[in-house]
Amino acid sequence: MQTALQVLDREYLEARCSLLELAAALDRVDRAADHEGSAGEFNDSRLELLKQAMALLSEESHLPNRSERMLLLFSDLD
Amino acid sequence: MQIIQPHYHAIARTAQDYERMAMSGVVAVAEPAFWAGFDRLYPETFIDYFRQISEFEPTRAADYGIKHYCWVAVNPKEAENPELSHEVIKKMPEFFDKPTVLGVGEIGFHKTTKNEEEIFEAQVEQAIKYDQLILIHTPHLQDKVRGTKRTLEVLSHMNVNPERVWIDHVEEHTIREPLEAGYWVGFTLYPVTKCSPKRAVDMLEIYGHERILVNSSADWGPSDPFTLQQCVVQFRARGYSTQDAIEIFHNNPARFLGQNPKFDIKPIRLETIDEPSHNLVGN
């Protein structure tokens, strides 16, 4: 098994790229809302889900289960 | 749709890439001189490389109906060997007379060192002296901001015409200053480490279409010549017309590169034709 440093070396740039794409996607929504004249007012439950998912990323965790918890967050459980 | 790929390292790619590019509308590529993945030891190695991209590569592209142009330069990584670099720079004017050489590039910074700056300035001076276009590489990842700022500082003290200078690999955090200073800028679409097709279209929406070039670079590393076509598709999917796409992906490179008269591909415009309708029934 690779060391944590080896894994980070391999994953860092792709993770950076994924975060940039997410930031750009959110900017895209904001710019479109601004263009429609609804800047700061536009809301959608999916945006709230994305915010919760982003918060989950920065949580300290003793278990490597962020992806599982994120998929549950995006699931209809009722 | 006709496309010009303005930054393409053809020697690192296969004939099949040329064929598929031709099938997807690419009519011309321009190949800057770059780092080979290892530091070369001899000026003659550069000279042979310049011969390869100015003499041989156009014949390989022509097999697929694609026009191939190139640039000559010492790239920023190998500028760390100033003695070698100056020997190569002395030989570059011989290539300015070749029929497909468009200018000096890609030059600039990698780690923004003193040696890099010395060789960057020497090559800008040579481009000015021989009235050549200039293509500037900006650094990767965490070095990009510092290198771009220093690039602009160096250029501000030199007698360059910004309209004849293309500052490449800009991203959201480095596009504003070069564009406001009157330079052309380029978005380089890489799978992971530079700009993505979607983010490129975002910047086109924010900054407009003037003095902006989009390219795939496409070299021997993780890269893909068809990120340019992905960008065209992304642009069209957001509702822009084919003519809008032609302006960015064909006409802008034709305008910048066409400042060198050797680049003879002109901007184009789509036109509908009113033709009399033919009644085929009964013929």
CA distance B218 to B226: 9
pLDDT digits (tens, 9 = 90+) for A24-36: 999 999 999 999 9
User: Could you tell me which residues are beta bridge partners of residue B185?
Assistant: B167, B212
Q: Which chain A residue's Cα is nearest to B200? A: A24
CA dihedral over B56, B61, B67, B68, signed as positive or negative: negative
How confident is the model at residue B99, as a pLDDT? 98
Please tell me the pTM assigned to this model: 0.94
Q: How far away is chain A from the Cα of B140, in angstroms, using its nearest Cα?
A: 12
pLDDT > 60? residue A64: yes
Q: What is the pLDDT of residue B279?
A: 65
On whether the CB atoms of residues B225 and B217 are closer than 8 A, the answer is no
pLDDT score at B187 = 97
Burial of residue B128 (CB within 10 Å: 0-12, 13-18, 19+) is middle
b/e burial code for range B80-95 (CB count within 10 A of at least 16 → b): bbbebbebbbeebeeb
Residues in B touching A24 (Cβ below 8 Å) = 172, 196, 198-199, 202
Mean pLDDT in runs of 10 for chain B (283 residues)? 97 97 98 96 98 98 98 97 98 98 97 97 98 97 96 97 98 98 97 93 97 95 94 98 98 98 98 83 57
Percent of chain A scoring above 90 in pLDDT: 81
**From CA B166, how far away is CA B138, in angstroms rounded?**
10
The pLDDT value recorded for residue A38 is 83
The pLDDT of residue B277 is 79
Cβ–Cβ contact A32 with B under 8 A:
no
CB distance B193–A24 less than 8 Å?
A: no
Q: SS3 letters for A13-69?
A: HHHHHHHHHHHHHHHHHHHHHHHHCCCCCCCCHHHHHHHHHHHHHCCCCCCCCHHHH
Of all residues in chain A, what percent carry a pLDDT higher than 70?
100
pLDDT confidence bin for A60, thresholds 50/70/90: confident
Residues B123 and B74 sit within 8 Å (Cβ to Cβ): yes
- Position B131 scores a pLDDT of 98
Cβ-nearest to B198 among A13, A14, A24: A24
Res B228: pLDDT: 97
Residues from chain A contacting residue B199 (CB–CB below 8 Å) = 20-21, 24
Predicted local confidence at residue A39, as pLDDT: 80
**Amino acid in the structure at residue B269:** R
In this prediction the ipTM stands at: 0.91
- Relative orientation angle of helices A45-57 and A4-36, to the nearest 10 degrees: 150
Whether pLDDT at A61 is above 90? no
pLDDT at B15: 97
- Is A28 within 8 Å of chain B by CB? yes
Min distance B174 CA to chain A CA atoms (Å): 15
Of residues B172, B192, B202, nearest to A14 (C-beta):
B192
Q: Is A5 on the interface with B (CB under 8 A)?
A: no
Query: What count of other Cβ atoms lies within 10 Å of the Cβ of residue A9?
Result: 11
